[in-house]
Amino acid sequence: MALADAGSALTEEQRAVRDVVREFAEREVRPAAAEADAEERFPEEVWDGLSDLDLTGLTVPEAYGGVGADRTTYAVVNEEVAHGQLAVATALSVHCLATSCIAEFGSHDQKERWLPEMAAGRPVGMFALSEPHAGSNPAEMSTVARREGDEYVLNGEKQWITNGERGEVCIVFAKTDPDDPDSVTQFLVPKDAGIEVGKKEHKLGLRASDTTGLLFDDVRVPAENRLTEEGAGLSAAFRILTGGRIGIAAQAVGLAQAALDEAKSYATDREQFGDPIAEIQTIRHKIADMATDVHAARLMVREAARLEDEGEDPRTAAAMAKYAASETAVDVTNEAVQIHGGYGYTTEFDVERFYRDAKITTIYEGTSEIQKEIIARGVFE
């Protein structure tokens, strides 16, 4: 990973965090990845390790027991964990989405009640915005929160919920008026309030990350569990997702870097016609293209993170980074499989899993098509 930080201007503290997480990912995350993927089981022992490193409190303010990390540090952590296994990084980032919502929009009492425990890793957080018929346009959601005295009663269905089986507290978006698309509101809902977990999805990739639906059938929560004023939920979601997209972009970079590392190692060791295939110009040029694309994507991620850290509007830069990095992950993992030849198509080598995992980065937290719309809006403004 010789180019992994060239030109990225990390501080000494950020480099130290990177080194610790990188070592943990190589020692604990990567060795468990193939088995967890094959068994479609989240490696809880790895989650405990993330907690021990305080990474489950990454976006929790220090006053509530967390790290209070800046966005650049957040991106660095996401990249390094994803270099070990994307499924683990995804679970962590969604947990951080939940803690970010509470930290930014919650009352003091809500923060004191939930954030210290979530910073310590339990309960695991979920983020419920998408629905079966409302993905890229959340204003079309049909989940409703009806006010009854000092409670809200939630009814509806959410889809594509990361940590759906293992999560214990959920940030839920619902309309307070079913006929008003501007009434979307954000709620903090413990699973034991009556949330029913739907079927677990069996996916192309990201198999170690549990993805389910969530069903709400007269789920009652106190009115004090509302996180935003009625109608302010979508704007809150978009603010949180902008930072989240920087994290997903960083994950895509980490995955692409892992594929590049494996391709380079294989090309150095594999011989054809008496020489390592790394001596073949076609292979060398593939590696050169892969390295260039990964480096460019990383710099875009770091630039988007820098803008947010400096208080500037990162929306366009975050969309650019997410679009570029996710498409890079798909292209680089594809080339890594090609360089491995027939072996790349088997589960004996990690690049097969990288290839399957990469596609999701172009879909979740805003598809590539949605990112291009955000980018175009920023260009024409």
Is 148 noted as a catalytic residue in this protein?
no
* CA 176 to the chain's CA centroid: 28
What is the predicted pLDDT for the residue at 169?
A: 98
Q: Which amino acid is at 372?
A: K
Mean of per-residue pLDDT scores for the chain: 96
Q: What are phi and psi of 4, to 5 degrees?
A: -60, -25
Active-site entry in 196, 365, 369, 381? 365
What CATH code is assigned to 12-124? 1.10.540.10
What is the predicted pLDDT for the residue at 7?
A: 44
What is the predicted pLDDT for the residue at 296?
A: 98
C-alpha span between 245 and 368 (Å, rounded): 11
CB within 8 Å of 192: residues ≥ 6 apart:
168
Residues 207-236, mean pLDDT to the nearest whole number: 96
Range in 236-245, 301-310, 322-331 the model is least confident about: 236-245
What is the predicted pLDDT for the residue at 319?
A: 98
* Neighbouring C-alpha atoms within 13 Å toward the C-beta of 156: 25
Q: Is the pLDDT of residue 1 over 70?
A: no
What is the predicted pLDDT for the residue at 3?
A: 54
Confidence of residue 8 (pLDDT cuts 50, 70, 90): low
The reported pTM is 0.96
Confidence of residue 4 (pLDDT cuts 50, 70, 90): low
* CA 300 to the chain's CA centroid: 17
Domain range summary for the chain, segments of one domain joined by +: 12-124, 126-231, 234-380
Closest by CA position to 60, among listed 131, 126, 117 = 117
Confidence of residue 135 (pLDDT cuts 50, 70, 90): confident
What is the predicted pLDDT for the residue at 134?
A: 83
* Neighbouring C-alpha atoms within 13 Å toward the C-beta of 333: 29
Residue 169 near residue 114 (C-beta atoms within 8 A): yes
pLDDT digits (tens, 9 = 90+) for 138-193: 889 999 999 999 999 999 999 999 999 999 999 999 999 999 999 999 999 999 99
Q: Is the pLDDT of residue 130 over 60?
A: yes
Q: Which residues of 112-140 are buried (b: 16+ CB within 10 A; e: fewer)?
A: ebbbebbbbbebbbbbbbbbeebbeebee
Cis peptide before 116 (omega within 30 of 0): no
CATH architecture of 126-231: Beta Barrel (2.40)
Q: Is the pLDDT of residue 278 over 80?
A: yes
Residue 234 near residue 67 (C-beta atoms within 8 A): no
CATH class of 234-380: mainly alpha
What is the predicted pLDDT for the residue at 232?
A: 96
Residue 167 near residue 125 (C-beta atoms within 8 A): yes
What is the predicted pLDDT for the residue at 139?
A: 84
Confidence of residue 9 (pLDDT cuts 50, 70, 90): confident
Q: Is the pLDDT of residue 105 over 70?
A: yes
Residues 38-58, mean pLDDT to the nearest whole number: 98
Q: Is the pLDDT of residue 352 over 50?
A: yes
Q: Is the pLDDT of residue 54 over 60?
A: yes
Residues 5-25, mean pLDDT to the nearest whole number: 88
What is the predicted pLDDT for the residue at 79?
A: 98
